[in-house]
């Protein structure tokens, strides 16, 4: 059952149960900072204080994009752990950072969704880190979370070894959006890292085609194109 803001009551009970279990586990196994290993937080106040605000970015096809942090130092360590080391609880500090920037943007949003992860990556990783962040944001703002509104309609090569132009060509037309979920709505797309913006652009094209009236993007970190930002050491999937 769904209430007016689109969150199911089952989800709210699950969330509460999860918060209780987490609080108990934190007492038994106190969390360590992923960057400096101090005990107490997954991302400690000292490391959070080193995070620098990323400059504004314009991405073709989107009505606005906010990026919370420059991809460096503590934030790059945290995102790497979040994506590749199954540290999914980092959605809380990283999601909170994203929410700070979204509050400043003050956008009016109807539905929130993640940039879909490549199916192969999803099977390897077992979770889409962008979906964890999108759900966190939706919960915080009481916006409706629609995880499956965009899907990949064709496979794309890994972006890691491609330059900006190759990336645009690689993902052009790779996505389709469900008009029933997005038509006439203001959409927020969420991802962990913004590099060239080619994937965000391709998703925005699909959303526009399906009738979305306004498309925003939000990412935790942003970098100029670099293999490091994509976790792109050879042999590591993007």
Decide: is 36 part of the binding site for Zn ion (CB under 5 A).
Answer: yes
Residue 149 sits at the vertex; the CA angle it makes with 236 and 66, to the nearest 5 degrees, is: 65
Distance in Å, CB of 31 to Zn ion, minimum: 11
Q: Which is nearer to Zn ion, 78 or 194 (CB)?
A: 78
DSSP state of 2: B
Residue 24 or 36: the one with the smaller Cβ distance to Zn ion is: 36
Q: Does 177 participate in binding Zn ion (rule CB under 5 A)?
A: no
Q: With contact defined as beta carbons under 8 Å apart, do 101 and 107 qualify?
A: no
Of 7, 42, 47, 138, the one binding Zn ion (CB under 5 A) is 47
Give min distance, CB of 30 to Zn ion, in A: 13
Contacts of 225 (CB under 8 A, 6+ apart): 163, 164, 167, 195, 196
Question: Under the criterion CB under 5 A, does residue 156 sit at the interface with Zn ion?
Answer: no
Burial (CB count <10 Å: 0-12, 13-18, 19+), residue 89: middle
Position 51 contacts Zn ion (CB under 5 A): no
Least separation, in Å, of the C-beta of 46 and Zn ion? Answer: 5
Q: DSSP class of residue 154?
A: S
Extract the tokens encoding 189: 């797309």
Q: Which of 44, 79, 99, 113 binds Zn ion (CB under 5 A)?
A: 44
Instruction: Give the binding-site size for Zn ion (rule: CB under 5 A).
Output: 5
Q: Is 53 in a helix, a strand, or coil?
A: strand
**Is 95 or 232 the residue whose CB approaches Zn ion more closely?**
95
CB distance 134 to 147 below 8 Å: yes
Q: If residue 95 lies in a helix (H) or strand (E), which one and from where to where?
A: helix 91-105
Q: Which is nearer to Zn ion, 43 or 98 (CB)?
A: 43
Does position 66 interact with Zn ion (CB under 5 A)? The reply is: no
Question: Is residue 196 at the binding interface for Zn ion, with CB under 5 A as the rule?
Answer: no
Q: Contact between 111 and Zn ion (CB under 5 A)?
A: no
Contact flag: residue 94 with Zn ion (CB under 5 A):
no
CB of 47 to Zn ion, least distance (A): 3
CA distance linking residue 56 with residue 69, whole number of Å: 10
Report how far residue 211's alpha carbon sits from residue 236's, in angstroms, rounded to the nearest whole number. Answer: 36
Give the contact letters, 6-35, x = binds to Zn ion (CB under 5 A), - = no: ---------------------------x-x
- In this structure, the number of other CB atoms found within 10 A of the CB of residue 48 comes to 18
Residues of this chain that interact with Zn ion (CB under 5 A) are: 33, 35-36, 44, 47
């Amino acid at each position: 059952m769904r209430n007016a803001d689109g969150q199911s009551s089952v989800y709210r009970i699950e969330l509460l149960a999860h918060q209780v279990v987490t609080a108990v586990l934190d007492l038994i196994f106190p969390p360590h900072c992923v960057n400096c290993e101090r005990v107490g937080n997954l991302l400690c106040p000292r490391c959070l204080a080193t995070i620098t605000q990323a400059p504004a970015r314009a991405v073709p096809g989107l009505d606005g994009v906010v990026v919370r942090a420059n991809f460096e130092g503590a934030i790059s360590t945290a995102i790497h752990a979040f994506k590749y080391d199954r540290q999914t609880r980092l959605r809380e500090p990283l999601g909170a950072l994203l929410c700070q920037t979204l509050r400043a943007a003050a956008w009016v949003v109807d539905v929130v969704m993640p940039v879909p992860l490549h199916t192969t990556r999803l099977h390897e990783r077992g979770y889409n880190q962008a979906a964890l962040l999108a759900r966190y944001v939706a919960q915080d703002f009481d916006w409706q979370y629609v995880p499956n509104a965009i899907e990949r309609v064709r496979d794309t090569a890994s972006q890691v070894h491609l330059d900006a132009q190759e990336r645009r060509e690689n993902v052009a037309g790779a996505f389709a959006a469900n008009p029933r979920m997005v038509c006439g709505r203001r959409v927020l797309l969420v991802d962990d890292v913004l590099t060239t913006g080619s994937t965000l652009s391709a998703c925005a094209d699909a959303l526009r085609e399906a009738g979305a009236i306004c498309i925003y993007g939000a990412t935790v970190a942003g970098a100029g194109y670099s293999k490091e930002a994509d976790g792109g050491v050879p042999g590591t999937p993007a």
